[in-house]
Amino acid sequence: MTDKRDYYEVLGVSREASSDEVRRAYKQAALKYHPDRNPGDESAETKFKEATEAYSVLSDADKRSTYDRFGHAGLQGSGGFDFAGAGIGDILSHFQDMFSDFFGGFGGDFGGGRQRAPRRGQDVRVDGSVTLREAMLGAKKEVSVNGLVPCDACEGSGAASGTKPQSCPTCRGVGQVTSQRGFIMFSQTCPRCGGAGKVITDPCRDCDGKGRVSRRRTVLVTFPAGIDTGQRLRVPGQGMPGPPGTPPGDLYVDVEVQDDEFFERHGYDLITREHLSFAEATLGTKIIVDLPDDTSATVKVDAGTQPGAVIRLRGKGLPRLDRRARGDLHVVLQVTVPKKLSRRARKLLQQLDEELGGSADKEARTA
């Protein structure tokens, strides 16, 4: 009987593991037990060989199928690589392409050929204030940004007029330098060009070769209809410029909607208060409400409306940001009681009170 451990056990995966799961498990084991990380450790070398053997079988669909049906015995005589008699150097040489794929494409501590995201400028955050009217209609407003902008003299290149940056001779324009140790490729930022891939031999005098100067500038920002306090707008490419040849950062605008004298905002709904006379509340009336977006709404007040009553007008509030609907307008009705009355007005009110049975009600309350 063979004394080899089960391949699935070696990689720490189940028999139902996908090929990606097998691949990830092997990568972790290979990084952990690689000889370069464990010099002179025979135990680690053995585990590295064991994991590589397990992966060479489980990563091959045909070999894995055979192994699942017949175990280690099914692979004997298949003409595969002899791990038992091979040294670590033989394994590294035989599986060079596979290791290059792992450590060159994934990087990790070995740095390989990891695809680095291109460097870019810094993002900037500013505050932007709009009125309720502008929030209801949408608006375009300029906001001020203090910071670096591309140098006009060199157009952001950093090179003096009539010249241009040259490809870095150290990294040959790549921005990184590599060195090889065994089958592993180590990569680091080029010390000469700082990763830019280019060097400036004759720098611009206005910006000292930086390609950027400090300046106050304005950016036109679009505030969509329905915008609210606490929301943030992103303006791509209007942040700080990056190193020469790289894109700028983004501008983020934190929005504040100013308080309004006549309206309160609750989400997409508006609330306003309208005053009625006693006669209007008693007899009923129609009032016109002027809205922040320069339109108006007609409010029908029924006879006998009580103080504090709320009339709701659907679709007269702010538009939703997705423009699928609008909020509502809520009109709170308040009855104005006059503080001063003429003699005639007082007499008329007394007569009205008697007509409405006020005196009888008063006698009933005092009885």
Residue range 35-70, pLDDT digits in tens? 777 777 888 888 888 888 889 889 888 888 888 887
**Is the pLDDT confidence value at 111 over 50?**
no
Q: Is there a contact between 230 and 175 (Cβ–Cβ < 8 Å)? A: no
DSSP state of 73: G
Kindly indicate the confidence band of residue 231, based on its pLDDT and cuts at 50, 70 and 90: very high
| Share above pLDDT 90 across residues of the chain, in percent, rounded to a whole number | 39
What residues have CB less than 8 Å from 170, skipping those under 6 apart? 177, 190, 191, 192, 193
**What is the structure's pLDDT at 4?**
82
Token pair, residue 188, equals 């680091």
Task: Point out the least confidently predicted range of 88-92, 108-112, 186-190.
Answer: 108-112
Whether 303 is covered by a domain: the verdict is yes
Q: What tokens does 90 get?
A: 């033989």
Contact by Cβ (8 Å): 159, 165: yes
Average pLDDT, the chain: 83
Structure tokens that stand for 157 in this block = 């290149």
Instruction: Identify whether 204 is part of a domain.
Output: no
Q: Give dist(CA 13, CA 29) in Å, integer.
A: 12
Q: Under the phi-then-psi rule, with left for phi > 0, alpha for psi from -120 to 50, and beta for the rest, what region is 280?
A: alpha
Are 51 and 30 in contact by the 8 Å Cβ rule? The answer is yes
Same domain, 311 and 229: no
Identify the domain containing residue 242 by its residue range: 116-161+209-259
pLDDT reported for residue 112: 40
Among 112-121, 176-185, 188-197, the minimum mean pLDDT is found in 112-121
CB 12 within 8 A of CB 30: no
CATH of residue 322's domain is 2.60.260.20
The per-residue pLDDT for 327 is 96
Residue 100 within any structural domain of the chain: no
Residues 144 and 255 in one domain: yes
In a domain, 1, yes or no: no
283 lies in the same domain as 323: yes
130: in domain: yes
Q: Are residue 51 and residue 78 in the same domain, yes or no?
A: yes
Joined together, the tokens standing for residue 153 give 């003299």
Quickly tell me which residue has 């015995």 as its tokens. 73
Please indicate, yes or no, whether residues 31 and 69 belong to a single structural domain of this protein: yes
The pTM of the full predicted model, rounded to 2 decimals, is 0.54
The tally of domains found in the chain comes to 3
| In a domain? residue 103 | no
Radius of gyration of the chain (CA): 39
Look at residue 354 and tell me if it is in a domain.
no
The torsion region of residue 40 among left (phi > 0), alpha (psi -120 to 50) and beta comes to left
